[in-house]
Structure 1
Amino acid sequence: MEDIRQEVPDTEKRRRRGADRDRGRLLEALTRIDREGWNGPTGSALLQELRTTMVRPLAIDIGLRGAMACQAEASGWEAVWIALCNPSLRAARSPWGVLWQAARRAVITEILTSRFATNERRAWELALVARDGAVRVPLSIEALVARGWDPPSDTPDQAAALIIRDVCTLARDALVAVGWDASRADAIVAAVLTLTDPTDDPRSTVLGWRSLASALDLPAWQARRLTVVLRGTDQWPGLLTRLLTDDLDLMDDVGMRSALLATRYHSHRSPILAAQRATRTIEDRPQRAAS
C-alpha cells in the first residue's frame, strides 16, 4: 500500500513545536481562564487549538494511525491540560515548549506502555534496556537505539528519524541560547552524533572529542566540554539523552544551562561541576530563606 504521509516542511514542524508561538498570548489566555474557568470560551478555544495544532500532528508525525493514534492523542491532550494547570508554567521562559514536551512524552509513553504491556515507569525502563540484558545509561543516540530503545511505530526507521530530528533541533536551540551560532550549533550536534560510542572503550567516557576538535576546528577544551554536555557520562546523563527520556525544559533547567554555558567560556567550571553547583545553589535558597 502506498504511504500517504507527506514530508512536513521544517517551518510547519517548528510551528507545531510552538517555536513561533507568543509567550504573552498564552499567559494572557491563562489569566482570562482564571476568571472564566476551563469551561469558558477562552479555555475551550485554547484546549481545542492545542489538540488540533500540537497534539494531533505530533501523534501523526510519529507514525500512528487509527485507534492507536486516537489513544495517544487523548493521552497527549490530558498531559497538556495538566501542564497548563501547573503554576510553574507561567514562570517558564518557553511555556509553549513545556507543553510540547509534555505532549510528546505522553504520546511516546502511550506507545511504550502498549508495546511492553506494563506501567509507564517500567515501560521507559524496558525501552532503555540493552537487548542483551545489560542496563546502561546510553551515551549517544545510536547507542540508545541499539541498546533497546524501540522506535514507536511499525516503520521503525522513519519513526526514530522523526524523534531524533526533533531532539537534534532542541539540542541545537539549547546551544544557540547560550551564544553559539545556529549553523555552528547544527554542525556540532551532527558531529557529536557520529562520534565513537564510549562503551567501545571502557578506559574512557569521553571518546571522540579530539575528532570533534579536528573536524570543526575547535579548541581542545571546548570540544571536550561539548562532548560531555551533549553525550554525558555513566554518572551524568547528557543533553541528548535527557531530551529523549526526561521532561526537560531547556531554558529553565539551571543545571543543564550552566553546563551549556561552560562550553562557551573557558573560565567556567567543567560542565558537570557547573551543573551540580548551579543545582545546589537553587536547592539551598529555600533552606536559607526558612532559616
Structure 2
Amino acid sequence: MGFRDRGVEIKTPEQIATMRAAGLLVGQTLELLRASVRAGVTTGELDAIAEDNIRSGGGVPSFKGYSTPPFPASICASVNDQVVHGIPGARELVDGDIISIDCGAIVDGWHGDAAITVAVGSIPDEVQELMDVTEESLWRGIASARLGGRVTDISHAVESYVRSRGNYGILEDYTGHGIGTQMHQPPNVPNFGRPGRGPKLVRGLALAVEPMIALGSAETLLEDDEWTVSMADGAPAAHFEHTFTLTPTGAWVLTALDGGESKLAELGVPFGGS
C-alpha cells in the first residue's frame, strides 16, 4: 500500500477485492432495506434489519459509534427534507415520504459505503424527478472517471448533469470522499466544480461518490441531535452513493451488485470489474 497526494490511500488489487466483499454486503443490505420500506415501518426497524444483515454477513457496521458524538445506529435514515445523517428511531414512515438510507460495512478492515433514496407509496412527480436526477448524476460522475484524469472530472460531470435538468440545489458543504481502511479519507469528491483538478485518478484509488441534491435551495441546517442535516427551506432532498474504483479495463462499482456493468454499458463506459 502506498500513499500520495496528501494522504490518499492506494490499494493493491487484493485489497480492492476485499473492498468488493464489503461493497457487496452494503449493496445487499440496501436492497433488503429497499424491499422493507413501506408505510408504517419505523426508521429504527430499518436500522435493526440493516445491522442484523451486516453482522450475519460477516461485517461490522461502519457508522455505529462513528465520530463525536458517536453515531448511535448502523444506517443513516433521512426523511423528506432531511438530506443526510438522520438518526433512526421511532419515526414511522407514511405514504408520500421519501427516505434516504446511507449504509456502510467493514469486512476484514476494509470499508464499503453506499446510499439510496426510496419512495414510500405514491410521491409527487417533481419529487420522483429529483430522485431520478440525483441517481443519474451519480452514474454520470462515475462514468466520467478515467485513469490519468482528476477527481474534479467527477465533480464537473455530476454538476453538469444536475444543472442540465433544472434549478436544483447542489449541497456544497457535504461531499464524497476517499475510502479504504477508513470510511472517510482524502480526497474529498465535491459534487460541483471545474474539471481537471485534485488528485490524479490512478489504479488502487477508491472513491465514494455521493450527490446530495435538493428540490429547493442548497442551504442546510444541523439539527439539535448534532447529526441530522436538513434543508433550511424544508424542501425534499435526495441522496445516492456508490463506492467505485478504476482498473486498467474501466470502472468497477464495488457497492453495485453487478459491479455497475449494466449501467456503465448503458452510458457507453467500459466495465472494469471481474
When normalised by structure 1's length, the TM-score is 0.30
The structure where strand makes up a greater share of residues is 2
Task: Point out which structure has higher relative CO (alpha carbons under 8 A, 6+ apart).
Answer: 2
When normalised by structure 2's length, the TM-score is 0.31
